[in-house]
Structure 1
Amino acid sequence: MAGWTVHTGTAVALPLANVDTDQLIPARFMSAPRSEGYGSFLLHDTRRDEDGALRPDFPLNRHPEANIMITRENFGSGSSREAAVYALIDAGFRAVIAPAFGDIFASNAVNNGLLPARLTPEACAQIEQMLGDGTAQARIDLDQSTLTIGAQDFAFDLDASWRIKLINGWDDIDLTRQHAAQIAQFRNNRSQAAPWAWPGEVD
């Protein structure tokens, strides 16, 4: 997975709260192989009418070029399905900006290179108003933890370890590997300090 530090793209507002993972990708699509791409399943039922046709008033249908989403609180709540993140990534999204995220969704997002950036409800509402029914060019800087739209900067919250993982393209295993020397040293010290607790050889 390729890491990134700065992303410039198109921001769109999705004025919906409590978008859960079942909405992001309904369970019936999760049997499809990832190699086929999950982008077409993103918000499949939400963005369609009762006849299955794409709703022309839905933001992602109006602006399929968007790759930065500004949305409302509790995004990615619900079940732990990682496929919800796959659907966003395969649809081209690099970041989701919201006041709060489901914890497991946010962790899955970072491990797959998708930024879940937390802004205050007031800031998200301000950006939503700025975008209206349209889009705007936006710039995200992970080093500075800023989202820039026009001449305005918005500082977002981002855990330090998440920043490292996104910039380097790491998941949890990659992050742990960076401490391999310290882990080996601890093992050696522990085996000497408490040999009685160390597994013996099996005959």
Structure 2
Amino acid sequence: MDEIRVSAVVYVPQEEAFEFLLDFPGYAEYSQYLEAVETYEGDGGPGTRYGLTFSWWQLSYTAHSKVTDVDSPDRIDWRLTKDIDAYGYWHVDPLELDPAETLKTDAAAVSGNPEGEACEVTFQVFFDPDSARAGVFDLPALVSFDWVLSKVIPRIKREAERIVSRAVADLEGQPRAVELDVHVDSQRL
């Protein structure tokens, strides 16, 4: 399994970040390639099923996802249920900030947060690129599945970074330079 983990400090209370991340349909606002998220069933808790429609170049694909566990206000686990072997989670870990360090932080990030609360938000994905098969996608004539895979795989890391950065901007109420901690364990990325 390949792995991507992206994390960032967010200057909001842990509970606020967690509730924000439970809103899977809102994720389409953060991704360049995610056009829509449709709730098939559920209310965001375990067992909730979503259809995530991705579009890139001349391709469109709807991934079927299921929330497998929710441990409020810490963690949301999910799994793809069709075509591609992938699973992951969002983790929200409260941070105790040193007041001196908080003063050094971007003032815009903490201006709407007078208590100086913060948390670390982590998006972790495990996936098997070899589980995606050519028959899953309707490819244009003369386009090989291997070519498509070679173009899509490098975009996964950039897209994970984009999603976390945009989510931080929405949580804090304005964009800022976000220091991301990115870990990749893959021969393809």
* Same fold by TM-score greater than 0.5: no
Taking CA–CA contacts closer than 8 Å with sequence separation of 6 or more, which of the two structures ends up with the larger relative contact order?
A: 2
Structure whose residues are more often helix by fraction: 1
TM range (shorter): under 0.3
TM-score (structure 1 length as normaliser): 0.25
Larger Rg: 1
TM-score (structure 2 length as normaliser): 0.26
